């Protein structure tokens, strides 16, 4: 826990992408130490959108690796998983990959949104694509919807750490207390 806090105890106002990648890799080290497939499955679920923002093809490969757990030794799964996780993080997210992730997230809420909320989402998405707002700004606008619609799956996503401010009561604080 102490080493994780060092990552986020900076004078920066926002948590950087690099810091989040480091946090995710450290969580993977915890999975390796636990030596339990259920922890790898949970890790994959919590980091889906973060990995997708980096490399959608590697996300598919990682999913297949996790799904192979009944056919391959767990130690081999961990080795392959780590190789592809690191490979995924070698690619920097782009506006296009972030937009894809945002559309995936939108799918969780679209049926519950009013027409004006849908229009507002797409307005923010266009502003992001035109580089008028940052990814953190649009995620900060989406985050309240997670709690409004009680979507615990999205609430656990490390992807939402891209907007947090480390010195406020926020999603990162909730994750750190687990």
Residues 136-146 pLDDT 10s: 889 988 888 88
DSSP annotation of 165: -
Q: How far lies 32's CA from each of 53, 57, 58, 75, 153, in Å?
A: 23, 23, 19, 9, 22
Residue pair 109/145 in contact (Cβ under 8 Å)? The answer is yes
Domain boundary assignment for the chain: 2-90, 95-176
Q: What mean pLDDT, rounded, does the chain reach?
A: 85
Residue pair 9/160 in contact (Cβ under 8 Å)? The answer is no
Q: What is the pLDDT of residues 113-155, one digit of tens each?
A: 999 999 999 999 999 999 999 998 899 888 888 888 999 999 9
The pLDDT, as a whole number, for residue 54 is 96
CA-CA distance, 46 to 117, in Å (whole number)?
26
CA-CA distance, 77 to 134, in Å (whole number)?
36
Greater confidence (10 vs 87) lies with 87
The pLDDT, as a whole number, for residue 166 is 46
Which of 10-19, 38-47, 53-62, 129-138 is predicted least confidently?
Answer: 10-19
Greater confidence (143 vs 52) lies with 52
Residue 163 has pLDDT above 60, yes or no: yes
CA-CA distance, 89 to 60, in Å (whole number)?
14
Q: Say how many C-beta atoms besides its own lie within 10 A of residue 148's C-beta.
A: 10
Q: What is the pLDDT of residues 61-77, one digit of tens each?
A: 999 999 988 888 999 99
Looking at residues 19-45, what average pLDDT do you find? 95
The pLDDT, as a whole number, for residue 147 is 87
CA-CA distance, 9 to 12, in Å (whole number)?
8
| CA nearest to 48, candidates 1, 107, 3 | 107
Burial call 29-49: b when 16+ CB within 10 Å, e when fewer: eebbeeeeeebbeebbebbbb
Q: Say how many C-beta atoms besides its own lie within 10 A of residue 119's C-beta.
A: 11
Counting residues of the chain whose pLDDT is more than 70, the rounded percentage is 83
Query: What is the pTM (predicted TM-score) of this model?
Result: 0.82
């Amino acid at each position: 826990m102490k080493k994780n806090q060092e990552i986020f105890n900076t004078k920066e106002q926002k948590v950087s992408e690099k810091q989040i990648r480091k946090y995710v890799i450290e969580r993977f080290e915890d999975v390796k130490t636990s030596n339990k497939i259920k922890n790898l499955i949970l890790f994959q679920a919590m980091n889906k959108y973060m990995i997708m923002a980096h490399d959608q093809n590697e996300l598919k490969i990682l999913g297949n690796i996790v799904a192979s757990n009944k056919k391959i030794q767990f130690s081999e799964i961990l080795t392959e998983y780590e190789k592809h996780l690191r490979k995924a993080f070698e690619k920097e997210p782009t506006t296009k990959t972030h937009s894809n992730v945002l559309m995936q997230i939108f799918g969780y809420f679209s049926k519950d949104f009013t027409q004006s909320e849908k229009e507002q989402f797409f307005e923010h998405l266009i502003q992001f694509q035109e580089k008028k707002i940052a990814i953190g700004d649009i995620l900060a606008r989406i985050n309240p919807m997670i709690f409004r619609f009680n979507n615990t799956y999205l609430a656990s996503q490390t992807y939402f750490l891209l907007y947090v401010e480390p010195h406020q009561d926020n999603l990162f604080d909730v994750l750190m207390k687990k």
